[in-house]
Amino acid sequence: MNFSKSKYCQYCQCPKILWLNKYKPEELKPDPSAEERFEKGNQVGDLAMELFGDFTEVTAYDENGKLDLSKMIENTNECLKNGTVNICEASFSSGGLFCSCDILHKESDGYAIYEVKSSTHVSAVYITDITYQKFVLEKCGIKVTGTYIVHINSNYIFDGKLDVQKFFTIKDVSALVEEEAKKRDIEADLINATQLCDCKDEPKYDLSIKCRDPYVCGFWDYCSRHLPKPNVFDVYSMNFSKKIKAYQDGYFEFGDVRSAVKLSEMQKRQLDFVLHNVDEHIDKEGIKSFLDTLSYPLYFLDFETMQLVIPEYPNSKPYQQITFQYSLHYIGKEGGEIKHKEFLGESGIDPRRSLAEQLVKDIPTDACVLSYNMSFEKSRIKELADLFPDLSDSLMKIRDNVKDLIDPFHKGYYYNKAIGNSFSIKSVLPAMFPDDPELDYHNLEGVHNGSEAMTLFPKIKDLPQDEQAVARKNLLKYCELDTYAMVKIFLKLVEISK
C-alpha cells in the first residue's frame, strides 16, 4: 500500500480505519458536512496561495478529471529546477510515501513547508500531517528549512477590502514537528499498515477516545454495533471522554451506568424513564410552573444564520454567525389566532441591518418571546445590539424577554419514550406529534435543517432567477416550520397541563 498524508493521519488516528476502508467501505457513514468543509478548505487554500506573491500551482488532472499525481510530481521537479520561489501543491513521492505541500517556499538554503488550514487554531493532527510532509521531502533529498501552519486569524475584522496578510496567522511549528518526528517511525508505520491491510482478518481495535479524536470516525456505527440500545453513548449531555471511560470500565448498559457513573439530575431522569419503561411522563405542576413564567402576547422566534469562512460584509469576522432570516409566530391572547411574520435577507447583501430593523418593529419590547434553546437566539440579538447602537435598547429589551421552550423537557416535566436521547426540536416534535405530515421536516422541499439553510443562503445569489425564487421559498417554509413547531409544542403543553 501507499501512504498519502490523509491516509497517514487516518492510520495515526486508528489503523482499523484503513482496514475498514479497504474491506468494508459500505459501512462508512457519509459525513453530510464533509463537502461543505472541503469547499471551505479549497476557498482558503486558493486565497493562501497569494501569501508570498507570485506562485506556480502544479495541480494537474487526467482525462477523467482525477488528480494526476505523476504529472504533479513532474511539474514540481520542473519548478525546483527552475528555482520557482513559491510552488503550490508541490508534490513528492518516495518508497510508497506521497505528499503534496500547500505552499513550498524557497529560502536561501532550502525550502519551507507551509500547510494551510481553514480552522482558526493549530491542532495536534496538523503537526502529524506536516511532520509526515517533512519526512517525505527529506527522503526526496529536499532540505526543509522550516515548517509552518497557516491558519485563519479569528480576530480579523473585514473592513470591506480583504487583507490576505491579516486574514491568516502563520505559526512556526518547527519545535513541535521535531518532537513529533522523534515519536514516529513513518517507514515502520507504512510496513505495519501494509501488513494490516494485506490480512483479511479484521484487526481488534476497540472503541476509544480516538473514535472522535481528531475527527469523528465514520465507522462508529459499525464498530459500536455490539452495544445494546440504548447505551452509555446515548446519555444526554455527557462528554465523550466520560462515556468512553464508563464503556472501558464495563458500564455501558443503562442499569450499570445508573448505579456506577456520576450523573446529573437530568441524566438520572433519562435513565430512570428508560429503566422503568416509562412511555410518557407528565408533571402537570412542573409544566404549569413553566407556563406561569410566560405571558401574552407571546412570540415564537427562530433565527437562521450562515458562517462565511472568508467574510464578505464589513464589520464581520471569519466564521462569524451572520443572521440572515427569522420566522416569528405570535399569539395575542389566550386562545387567540396564530399569526406569522418573517424576514429573509437578500443573498449577497449584508442582511444584518435590515433584519435588526424589522425585528424591532415586529416584536414589542415588552412582549414575552419563546425560543427553543434560547442561548443561540439571545447571542445573535446581542451581536446585533453591539453592531447597531441606535437599535441596541430595543434589541436588548427583546433579548431580556426571551424564555426557553426547551426548559420543560430539560427539567423532566414532560417525557415521552420517542424523544430518545436528544431534546432538540427535531426529536421532541415527532415524539409529541407522531405521523403528522404538516409537522414532518422530511416533507419539506430542499431545506430540512439549519445546516442546509446555512449552506444554501449565500449561494442563492449565484443561482438562475427561477431557482433563486424556489430556494427562497424553501428557506421561508423551513424556518416557518421551526416556529410553527414551537407553537404546537407550547399549545400541547397548555393542553396537558389542564
Summarize as ranges the residues that interact with ligand SF4 (CB under 6 A): 14, 16-17, 20, 205, 207, 210-211, 217, 219-220, 223
Write the DSSP string, 295-346.
-SSEEEEEEEEEE-SS--STTB-TT-EEEEEEEEEEESSTTPPEEEEEEE--
Query: Quick one: cell of 430?
Result: 415527532
Contacts of 9 (CB under 8 A, 6+ apart): 125, 128, 129, 132, 214
Minimum separation from the CB atom of position 23 to ligand SF4 (A): 12
Minimum separation from the CB atom of position 327 to ligand SF4 (A): 38
Q: Which is nearer to ligand SF4, 1 or 368 (CB)?
A: 1
Minimum separation from the CB atom of position 208 to ligand SF4 (A): 6
Q: Which is nearer to ligand SF4, 152 or 207 (CB)?
A: 207
Minimum separation from the CB atom of position 41 to ligand SF4 (A): 22
Minimum separation from the CB atom of position 206 to ligand SF4 (A): 6
Q: Which is nearer to ligand SF4, 17 or 72 (CB)?
A: 17
Minimum separation from the CB atom of position 223 to ligand SF4 (A): 3
Q: Which is nearer to ligand SF4, 229 or 276 (CB)?
A: 229
Minimum separation from the CB atom of position 10 to ligand SF4 (A): 9
Question: What one-character DSSP code corresponds to residue 86?
Answer: E
Residue 170 has φ and ψ, to the nearest 5°, of: -110, 120
Minimum separation from the CB atom of position 241 to ligand SF4 (A): 14
Residue 166 has φ and ψ, to the nearest 5°, of: -85, -25
Contacts of 465 (CB under 8 A, 6+ apart): none
Write the DSSP string, 376-441.
HHHHHHHHHHHH-HHHHHHHHHHHHTEEETTHHHHTTSEEEGGGTT--SHHHHHHHHSTT-GGG-G
What is the side-by-side order of every strand in the sheet holding 86-94? 56-57, 86-94, 97-107, 110-116, 144-152, 168-172
Q: Which is nearer to ligand SF4, 2 or 208 (CB)?
A: 208
Q: Which is nearer to ligand SF4, 210 or 473 (CB)?
A: 210
Pairing mode, strands 97-107 and 56-57: unpaired
Minimum separation from the CB atom of position 207 to ligand SF4 (A): 6
Q: Which is nearer to ligand SF4, 216 or 260 (CB)?
A: 216
Q: Which is nearer to ligand SF4, 23 or 52 (CB)?
A: 23
Angle, vertex CA 316, rays to CA 311 and CA 318, nearest 5? 45
Report the distance separating Cα 32 and Cα 95, nearest Å: 35
Best CA proximity match to 173, nearest among 112, 88, 234, 216: 112
How many CB atoms lie under 10 A from the CB of residue 387?
15
Best CA proximity match to 273, nearest among 168, 163, 414: 414
Q: Which is nearer to ligand SF4, 16 or 472 (CB)?
A: 16
